[in-house]
Structure 1
Amino acid sequence: MTDAKILVIDDNKSVLSALEILLQFEYKSVQTISNPNQISSFPNFTEIDIILLDMNFSAGVNTGNEGLYWLREIKKKAGHISVIMMTAYGAIELAVEALKEGASDFILKPWNNERLLTTVKSAYELRKTKKEVSQLKEKENHLKQLINQNKNYIIGNSKVLNSVLDIVRKVAKTDVNVLVTGENGTGKELIARELHKSSARNHEVFISVDMGSISENLFESELFGHLKGSFTDAKENRAGKFEAANGGTLFLDEIGNLSLQTQAKLLSAIQNRVIVRVGSNTPIPVNIRLICATNCNLDQMVADGLFREDLLYRINTIRVEVPPLREREGDILILADFYLNKFINKYGKQGLKINQAAQEKLMAYNWPGNVRELLHTMERAVILSEGNVLKPTDFLLEVKNSLTMGNGPDTLEEMERLMITNALNKNDGNYSAAAEQLGISRQTLYNKLKKSTE
């Protein structure tokens, strides 16, 4: 017996009885009503799977308009229900009209029992398919939401950061290819996600691919997919990243790490917006927003013959340069406070604060590893903290000698900042000791630091 709920609506009680007897041996629940006005008050109406609906309810009327009216009302109330129309007055035009309005099928009275059972079974299979499709769409939307959940935020209010975000907001409204550049640890993927979130594609997926981690022999399989048996480890059909990102955004990180051979394959896919799975000859069109990122100087790589100029033109319609943390004046302490609160909650170190001397040490540091280095520095300090106050000695910052030939500061201001940073680190953030080492007063040291962060 099929676990389906069937409702028969007909003003002829003999028809209701006959159908109830016929269907009750095949389906778990068969109910009947003689007046379609009872639909609005019928209990658990939306849980019904199939309705067999008469097309004429008034004496002497055989136009079928009543049935079409109630068909429309049922579809308004519960569009997922499969409706089979029934009438003793068959006409091709009437059947076509019913199907246009959303009916699953059409049965003439008197019916053939075997044909009617087959029709009802087909309608139920259609109902199941629609239900499965609906559930899959719900799951897909849920998965997209999970994939697009980004618990990392762009933190800061410096002028250089706001300038970048202004560009992002303007570019996000278009579908142009974007190249995001910047040093390691500056947050290039966050900028790419912000482009996606601010675009018309924000309800679709954001697929991130680390190009540096893909071996050359698996490049096509990873990006374009493959068919089962196309190579030794291809044990099933698999969609590539281009297909997975269809309708959404594809982010290719570390694109400067690609060989010239793989660059050519990527160029073809980007240029034609068509991919072919490994082992297949069937072209698959893809609709993606492409964002690439690198910390390499692609212009220099082109000059050195290491990167294709035509590929650079394709991915570089708009270039967004993410500033290093040392240039984001005022953002260091904002970020430090953000990560402090994050790790306080994560490791249960409530009430933990950064004292003034430690804040000054953080501001004076050059942060060669940028925001990523700051994040790890804060996490390490919180984990190893023993009291309620983080002091300069709690922040173990790696100070590299930048005064080597060809690697020194370019300006007097940079030289001064570097000397202050080194002095503070050497004296564990003690401003009086650092000032004494530099041969200046403590107040002068404060003034110089303040000036460098304004």
Structure 2
Amino acid sequence: MEKEINKVLIIDDDEDVLFAAKMLLKKHVKEVFIEKDPRKIPFLLNQGTYDVILLDMNFSQDTTSGKEGMYWLEQIKERDPKAVVILITAFGDVETAVNALKKGATDFVLKPWQNEKLVATIHAAAQLKNSYNQVSRLEQEKQQLEESIDAPFKSIIGESRALQNVFTIIDKVAATDANVLILGENGTGKELIARALHKKSTRKDHSFVSVDMGALTDSLFESELFGHKKGAFTDAKIDRAGRFEIADKGTIFLDEIGNLSAPLQAKLLNVLQSRTVTRLGSNEAIPFDTRLICATNEDINARVNEGDFRQDLLYRINTVEIHLPALRERIEDIPLLADHFLKIYAKKYKKGDMKISQNALRLLQKYQWPGNIRELQHAIERSLIMADQSTLEADDFFFLSKGGNSSTQQSTTMDDSFNLEDVERQTIQKAIQIHGGNISKAAEELGLTRASLYRRLSKYDLQ
């Protein structure tokens, strides 16, 4: 049977006790360390951590009071507060044992011990240590997650004035419970803004629940948002809380709320007005205390004017509106975003230290980005995967000018550009057009050989 306990340290001045304990425990523990001199405890703790430490209460200098054991217990807990210590004593002094437990001991055993009881005690202590380790890992993961998003807007890349205006609104609104409606095109980062609002709010220690309303069918809407009782419908095998219940004391983010049908709008409005939900299959109204943040990429006011979206629902969800700028409206942020995504994908695909040239950045800043930040992210990933060199050049983004709309095409071939590569591209295009696609005449007009012109056609993807 595989040994579940990794390391146990035993400290006792009686060598017979050390030998007997080691022989007993080596059947259950991968490594058993023994030491008769307690003064070596600091050194041993510096060498690593132990699942369980067995510590004698009385050493040669003082054989009855247990003061030495108390002293070394305090030393151990000071160095490792999560250390699991079992005290060993030959004297069944209840008062001393209780005092030891108050000072951080996990348990105590009496000498001479019963083998089965000692093994059981150590197994229980090792499970406690494992629980401490799991909690510690979860705390570290939580701290790391919070550090990545708790710093003011750290996850939102950009320094443009348009984005700074958004940050200002977030700072004013976050600490309130005002309902917020985030408006912006697809790919502009609406959920990031919602998370920033949550993380800067008084509800930050509770759940942030995100719901893609566009992905919910009418049949799933109530079950997902309001929950259901076991047997409420065919697949309802157990009771299940809805998203509003889960988000109690926290924040619920309803993305793409503009996609809701009229009947679902009515159901949502009723819940927001009553501040209660009723699970499918139940008559019990369950109150909830949740901050509401919604988002849509649609012109919601036009939808209201057209009768497709309830005005009373709009009043409920947009106490404050935040308008997210499209990427083409914050082109000064493109270098920061490109560098951010470049680092992410260079690490993911083990490409080493990757850079992006100024010519490439100028091209990216001229492109219209109909897909906004999400499209830029995919463009960086695709270019990095296909690149043969450590610096991404404009040619690596050739696909951006293919299949785009006329404004996109125009933006990448601006006549007023002073960039030498842009000027060369435009000049070659005009020469070929003037000579009706005759490469030889175009090359002669440009003062190039046919081979040189073909290389440039390939470079600028003009073939």
Asked if TM exceeds 0.5, the reply is: yes
Comparing 216-225 and 44-53, the one that deviates more: 216-225
Structure 1 partner of 2:332: 334
Alpha-carbon distance in 2 for matches of 1:292, 1:248:
14
1:21-420 aligned within 5 A: 21-42=23-44, 45-57=47-59, 59=61, 62-138=64-140, 153-155=156-158, 157-158=160-161, 161-174=163-176, 176-182=178-184, 187-196=189-198, 208-223=210-225, 232=234, 250-259=252-261, 262-263=264-265, 266=268, 290-294=292-296, 295-297=298-300, 301=304, 306-307=309-310, 309=312, 312=314, 315-322=317-324, 331=330, 333-334=331-332, 350=357, 352=359, 371=372, 396-398=404-406
2:160–2:333 contact (8 Å) kept in structure 1: no
Change (3 A) 1:396 1:340: farther
TM-score normalised by L of structure 2: 0.61
Alpha-carbon distance in 2 for matches of 1:376, 1:132:
35
RMSD in angstroms over aligned alpha carbons? Answer: 5.5
Structure 2 residue ranges without an equivalent (≥5)? 346-353, 387-392, 417-463
> Offset at 1:16?
2.7
> Offset at 1:128?
3.0
2:62–2:68 contact (8 Å) kept in structure 1: no
Letter in 2 for 1:334: E
Alpha-carbon distance in 2 for matches of 1:191, 1:110:
64
Structure 1 partner of 2:431: none
2:228–2:240 contact (8 Å) kept in structure 1: yes
Change (3 A) 1:220 1:136: farther
2:13–2:59 contact (8 Å) kept in structure 1: yes
> Offset at 1:40?
0.9
Alpha-carbon distance in 2 for matches of 1:282, 1:90:
56
> Offset at 1:42?
1.8
| DSSP-derived class of the 1:118 partner | helix
Change (3 A) 1:377 1:27: closer
| DSSP-derived class of the 2:32 partner | strand
Alpha-carbon distance in 2 for matches of 1:241, 1:313:
22
Alpha-carbon distance in 1 for matches of 2:178, 2:37:
58
Letter in 2 for 1:82: V
| DSSP-derived class of the 2:13 partner | coil
2:262–2:308 contact (8 Å) kept in structure 1: no
Change (3 A) 1:92 1:334: same
Alpha-carbon distance in 2 for matches of 1:143, 1:239:
26
> Offset at 1:269?
7.1
> Offset at 1:181?
2.7
Change (3 A) 1:247 1:77: farther
Letter in 2 for 1:122: A
| DSSP-derived class of the 2:31 partner | strand
| DSSP-derived class of the 1:122 partner | helix
> Offset at 1:6?
1.8
1:344–1:352 contact (8 Å) kept in structure 2: no
1:228–1:234 contact (8 Å) kept in structure 2: yes
1:99–1:105 contact (8 Å) kept in structure 2: yes
Change (3 A) 1:313 1:188: same
Change (3 A) 1:124 1:281: farther
| DSSP-derived class of the 2:118 partner | helix
1:344–1:350 contact (8 Å) kept in structure 2: no
| Aligned positions, number | 392
Letter in 1 for 2:8: I
Change (3 A) 1:46 1:228: farther
Q: Percent identity?
A: 43
Letter in 1 for 2:193: I
> Offset at 1:39?
0.4
Alpha-carbon distance in 1 for matches of 2:175, 2:55:
49
Change (3 A) 1:47 1:166: same
Structure 1 residue ranges without an equivalent (≥5)? 400-420, 432-454
Change (3 A) 1:372 1:31: closer
Alpha-carbon distance in 1 for matches of 2:182, 2:324:
7
Structure 2 partner of 1:448: none
| DSSP-derived class of the 1:38 partner | helix
Alpha-carbon distance in 2 for matches of 1:234, 1:144:
35
Letter in 2 for 1:69: Y
Alpha-carbon distance in 1 for matches of 2:201, 2:84:
38
| DSSP-derived class of the 1:42 partner | helix
Letter in 2 for 1:37: R
Deviations 1:392-415 (A, max 9, x none): x9895447xxxxxxxxxxxxxxxx
> Offset at 1:82?
2.1
Alpha-carbon distance in 2 for matches of 1:72, 1:274:
52
